[in-house]
């Protein structure tokens, strides 16, 4: 499974990228608005830090303007993935862009039918939002399972990018289902490291080492 970071905080991206565990970055207009930078400047900075796909979302909702915005964004760097909403004009833009060799992330997916249309349009990634479904009492992870099964039936190349992740268990469950990518806030990625028995065991080892009076460095 690939790990993407869902943030516009370049300091967080740099810090986590140093671990070697960041395979890409996702952004959206809401995240970008909190950065205090122009959108072009922000995507340029992120692409300089991360080699993998960096999703940059268009803000237009009509096909002609989407394509104009996409043309600006994909010139920033070769690893830009154009992010489009799952609406008819978004799927039309997806088809045109992928046919032209550009990575496309189709976002705001909430049903298996939408995911099927996305794969038919040739998207690089489909982004189902598990947390937002859970928020309204629906089964977010059930959607991931359905999409993974449908895609496997037809060997679709579109990768399932699990979005709106709220906890480490979302990541683990998505991995068990065979999802290709999990995009998460920096906090959630760091939570994957954490376990109380790891902390307890390390403390015991270090306490014993301190009592021994030894030092590896002499």
pLDDT of residue 123: 98
Q: Which two tokens stand for residue 79?
A: 């690893």
Q: Which residues are bridge partners to 98 per DSSP?
A: none
Q: What CATH number does residue 196 fall under?
A: 3.20.20.70
pLDDT of residue 34: 85
Asked if the structure places residue 140 within a domain, the reply is yes
Please name the residues in contact with 13: beta carbons below 8 A apart, sequence gap of 6 or more: 5, 7, 22, 25, 46, 49, 50
Domains held by the chain: number: 1
Asked if the structure places residue 34 within a domain, the reply is yes
- What's the sign of the alpha-carbon dihedral 121, 127, 129, 130? positive
Spatial separation of the C-alpha atoms in residues 158 and 200, rounded to whole Å: 42
Asked if the structure places residue 184 within a domain, the reply is yes
At which residue do the structure tokens 């937002």 appear?
Answer: 132
Asked if the structure places residue 217 within a domain, the reply is no
| Secondary structure letter of residue 164 according to DSSP | S
**How many residues can be counted in the chain?**
218
| pLDDT tens-place values along the chain, 218 residues long | 999 999 999 999 999 999 999 999 999 888 888 888 899 999 999 999 999 999 999 999 999 999 999 999 999 999 999 999 999 999 999 999 999 999 999 999 999 999 999 999 999 999 999 999 999 999 999 999 999 999 999 999 999 999 999 999 999 999 999 999 999 999 999 999 999 999 999 999 999 999 999 999 98
Strand spans (E) along 86-217? 103-109, 125-128, 159-162, 181-184
Q: Please give the residue range of the domain that contains residue 206.
A: 2-212
Asked if the structure places residue 218 within a domain, the reply is no
Asked if the structure places residue 147 within a domain, the reply is yes
Asked if the structure places residue 191 within a domain, the reply is yes
Spatial separation of the C-alpha atoms in residues 70 and 43, rounded to whole Å: 13
Asked if the structure places residue 133 within a domain, the reply is yes
What is the set of active-site residues?
Answer: 83
pTM for the whole structure: 0.94
């Amino acid at each position: 499974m690939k790990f993407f970071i869902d943030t516009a905080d370049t300091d967080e991206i740099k810090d986590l990228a140093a671990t070697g565990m960041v395979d890409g970055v996702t952004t959206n207009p809401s995240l970008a608005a909190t950065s205090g930078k122009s959108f072009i400047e922000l995507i340029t900075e992120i692409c300089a830090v991360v080699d993998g796909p960096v999703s940059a979302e268009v803000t237009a909702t009509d096909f002609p303007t989407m394509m104009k915005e996409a043309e600006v964004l994909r010139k920033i760097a070769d690893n830009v993935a154009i992010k489009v909403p799952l609406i008819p004009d978004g799927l039309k833009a997806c088809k045109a862009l992928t046919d032209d060799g550009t990575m496309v992330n189709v976002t705001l997916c909430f049903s298996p039918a939408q995911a099927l249309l996305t794969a038919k349009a040739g998207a690089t990634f489909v982004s189902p939002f598990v947390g937002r479904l859970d928020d309204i009492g629906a089964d977010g992870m059930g959607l991931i399972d359905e999409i993974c099964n449908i895609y496997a039936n037809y060997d679709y190349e579109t990768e399932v990018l699990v979005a709106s992740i709220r906890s480490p268990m979302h990541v683990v469950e998505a991995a068990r289902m065979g999802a290709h990518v999990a995009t998460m806030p920096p906090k959630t990625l760091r939570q994957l490291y954490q376990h109380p028995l790891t902390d307890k065991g390390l403390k015991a080892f270090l306490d014993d080492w301190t009592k021994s009076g030894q030092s590896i460095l002499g």
